[in-house]
Structure 1
Amino acid sequence: MSDVKEMTLADVDQMMALVHYAFQWELSEKNRQRFQMLAENSWNFGSFDDKGQLASQVMATPFSVDLFGDTHLMVGVGFVASYPEYRSQGRIDQIMTQLLATARERGANLSYLAPFSYPFYRRYGYELIFERAVYDVPANQWPDSAKVPGTLRRLDWQEAKPIISELFPKAQRHHQGGVQRDSWWLDFKFPLRKDYQYAIYYDANGNPQGYLVYLLQPGLMTIAEWTWLSGEAFRGLNRFVASHSGSVARIFYEMGYDGKNLQFLTQVPLQDFRVRPEMMARVVDVASFLKDTKKVADLPASLALEIVEDRYAPWNNGLFELQKGEQGVTIAKVATTQLPKVSLTIQRFSQLFMGYLTPETLAFHDLIEVDKKTLKSLKAILPDQKPILEDYF
């Protein structure tokens, strides 16, 4: 019925045709260029019918991500699509099985995706990890900031790109699960996507300290990305945003949400502020992930982690002992254990070790099995911040 294979650039036209059909994706010259660029930098998996026609596909783009100081290889999953006559035939199941196995073989510890359906992707071991804070504000209600000593300049993309490349990784919020961006990804994300404008804030010594990527449309200013390295840079860029209150009716801004919001800056709390769910993620290889997580060294007492029900990455199922010794913590997969045990699914493991939920929350809702003493030991090796992501796959 199905022939699943990793595709080459010779298959790009078929891939693009499927995306055009499935998502009503406009085949403009700019979109064709974007798709070609994405395909060239991705692992592309397809399911073909008995006549060699592409029936279903998944694109998996490898990135390095910084998760609270640990660098992991991550595959961003996108453009999951099937022609309608090939749906409900298990083709995506087969592709995802091969994709996860290939990702593991190539050293990927993590995978992210933007779901069209959260229940659909939970079957593959993914779970909600990232959220977005959404500000949709009448422009005259956007809070202004006091004048700052620096200056702001609007630049074209070629001038702004190296500054954005320099500043993005310097912001602490981009080290909580964020992508370590390559040059091609910046071009794909910004100028090839929309006709964005770029504003850079410089301090009094002429050093760039923040930037704003935004889009102006009739009556609307949309902030696509906002990065600052200091309170001064934030205020300087915010003053620039507020200055648009005379030319647009609304200001729209989404940012990765880590439990904090900007409501405290407003005179009147914003009625249209909300937090929405966004990206899902999963750990691809539990053993490799744990070995690459520095905080595991903080384990105060030995314990075992039991992963259950990981159907599409069966190498994760079973017991992993984390033994505290004089030389540090060793990690080994075992058949049985006498250590205190934490039993959980791959979804809950990912939410814990990526910082989205606490063990207390999961234990309260009976979503992990753990006693109080072991929970305390487990908590010592988990992040104490929530994850943030500004990229989309």
Structure 2
Amino acid sequence: MEIRQLTASEVELHIQLSEFAFQYELSKEDREVAIKRVRPDEIWGAFIDGKLASKLALLPLETYIHGKAYAMGGIAAVATWPEYRRQGLVAKLLTKALEVMKDNGQTISFLAPFSYPFYRRYGWEMHGEETEVKIKTKQFPKLKGQGHMERVGRDSTVIGEIYDTFAQKFNGALKRSELWWETRVFNPSKKGLVAVYRNAEGESKGYLYYQVKDRKLTIREMVYLDQDSYKGLWEFIAQHDSMIEEASFIAHPGDPLMQLVDDPNFEQKTSPYFMARIVDVAAFLEEYPLQWKGVEGEQTFIHVRDQYAPWNDGTFLIQPNPEGAKSEGDKSEPESDRAVNRVSFFPRKSEEVSCTTVPKKGLSCDIQTLSMLLINYKRPTELAKIERLHGEQKEIKKWEDLLPKERSTNLMDFF
């Protein structure tokens, strides 16, 4: 068995396996586009006797965590031919992907699971939920913005800056490249119009990416930077009431719609969405904005269990890095590129060293729990209550103070 990246001549094998596994069939024209779009160096395959048996895509992406862009490895298109299943091929591919991501400096990874229990086994954990809303026209909020809407082309140069400002308000949103906008967001197979909200001063403060079909308004993206733009977007949506019977969209965390309508009894369905995994704990923590001010002591510990990434399996000593603070007038390098913490790693030497009891210093958890903590999907107190996080109460409180609170998880993309 050999694990390696595909060659250009093997891209067709990747497409054939995806078609079979995900039960779709590309037209001749779409196949030609797919072959040109796929980068063979992003596809890793497990070959048995020279035949592609299993594969996954490892996408080089970026995600915002507390306003900073982190290199992220996106796992996608995981598939195995039936005759090769239950031979541990995906496990070998995921282990290889973790090693590659670490070497590439991708300190965190996301994926859309076919099975949450399966990927939890390898260290991924829930990234967050998504709430699908369906609301009848008679229930639309009666809102009015101070600006106006303007339909524009499907062009990231018009709305990209609005998206980027909005995305940085959340943890886990993608930093989109021009190629991502072109091939993923504005994929030709996704029909829809784009309208921008401009406030009274003419500033672009929000946009709607939507489709009207069969008396339904499907909102692909609704992005707003303030309450005025939120009102303006809903005013625009309501102006379609003679053409539609309902609107559907994925609500962002903190959406105030239920408090702004007369009748809040509209359909809402919340489901788990992506999964996340810290790939390289030390490198991730070095850049992580721990809130040291006002926290007792100048260091903290966390004991991590990670079966599939031995470089994470052990104890981490974390201290603030005075050299990471930029002095006034210092223009040597961007502050975002400086290590804000000093992280020392002490590998687990044996199972006896494992922190299975409540540690006297710091906290103890598995890599799945740590991933939830650092993307702010769940707080230390919540995880301690359900016995996913272990430590004395004063250490739980310390980590509550250390971890930023203001951003919730939100991912508007799919891969």
Q: By the TM > 0.5 criterion, same fold?
A: yes
Counterpart position of 1:64: 62
AA partner of residue 123 (structure 1): R
**Equivalents in 2 of 1:15, 1:274: separation in Å?**
34
CA distance in 2, matches of 1:381, 1:41: 42
Q: Assess if the C-alpha contact under 8 Å between 2:4 and 2:45 holds in 1.
A: yes
Partner of 1:44: 43
Change over 3 Å in CA distance of 1:346–1:149 after alignment to 2: same
Distance 2:404 2:117 in 1: 26
Deviation at 1:294, TM superposition (A): 2.3
Q: Is residue 346 from structure 1 mapped to residue 367 from structure 2 by the alignment?
A: yes
Partners of 1:208 and 1:41 in 2: CA distance = 39
Partner of 1:22: 21
Residue 262 of structure 2 is aligned to residue 270 of structure 1: no
Distance (Å, rounded) in 2 between the aligned partners of 1:375 and 1:293 = 18
Match of 2:328 in 1: none
Instruction: For residues 157-179 of structure 1, give each alpha carbon's deviation from its aligned partner in whole angstroms, at most 9, with x where no partner exists.
Output: 2xx32112121112265542211
Q: Is the 8 A contact 2:11 2:40 kept in 1?
A: no
User: 1:133, 1:261 within 8 Å by CA — same for their partners in 2?
Assistant: no
Is the counterpart of residue 183 in structure 1 residue 178 in structure 2? yes
Tell me, what secondary structure is at the counterpart of 1:152? strand
The within-5 A match list for 1:79-118 is 79-118=77-116
1:244 aligns with 2:266: no
CA distance in 2, matches of 1:342, 1:34: 50
Structure 2's unaligned 5+ residue stretches are 324-339, 348-352
Give the Cα separation in 1 of the matches to 2:169 and 2:35. 27
- Root-mean-square deviation (CA), in Å? 2.3
Q: Secondary structure at the match of 1:177?
A: coil
SS of match in other structure, 1:267: coil
Distance 1:95 1:330, change over 3 A: same
Q: Do residues 13 (structure 1) and 12 (structure 2) align?
A: yes
Q: Please state how far the C-alpha of 1:241 moved relative to its aligned partner.
A: 1.0
Contact in 2 for aligned 1:304/1:321 (Cα 8 Å): yes
Residue pair 2:141, 2:260 contacting (<8 A) in 1 also? yes
Q: Secondary structure at the match of 2:267?
A: coil
Aligned residue-pair number: 386
Q: Does 1:162 align with 2:157?
A: yes
- Using the TM superposition, give the Cα deviation of residue 184 of structure 1 relative to its aligned residue in structure 2, in angstroms: 0.7
Percent identity between matched residues is 30
Distance 1:264 1:112 in 2: 33
Q: Which residue is 2:393 aligned to?
A: 372
Structure 1 runs (4+) greater than 3 angstroms displaced: 28-38, 172-175, 296-300, 323-329, 335-339
Q: CA deviation at 1:28?
A: 3.3
Q: Pick from 231, 235, 239: which aligns with 2:227?
A: 231
- Residue 220 (structure 2) pairs with residue 211 (structure 1): no
Q: Does 1:362 align with 2:383?
A: yes
Partner of 2:71: 73
Check conservation: 1:72, 1:110, Cα contact below 8 A: yes
CA distance in 2, matches of 1:181, 1:34: 21
User: CA–CA distance in 1 between the matches of 2:227 and 2:64?
Assistant: 23
5+ residue gaps, structure 1, are: none
Residue 205 of structure 1: CA displacement? 3.3
TM-score scaled to structure 1, two decimals?
A: 0.91
- Amino acid aligned to 1:40: R
Corresponding residue of 2:408: 386
Task: Please say which of residues 135-144 and 169-178 is displaced more in the overlay.
Answer: 169-178
Q: Counterparts of 2:166 and 2:345 in 1: how far apart (Å)?
A: 37
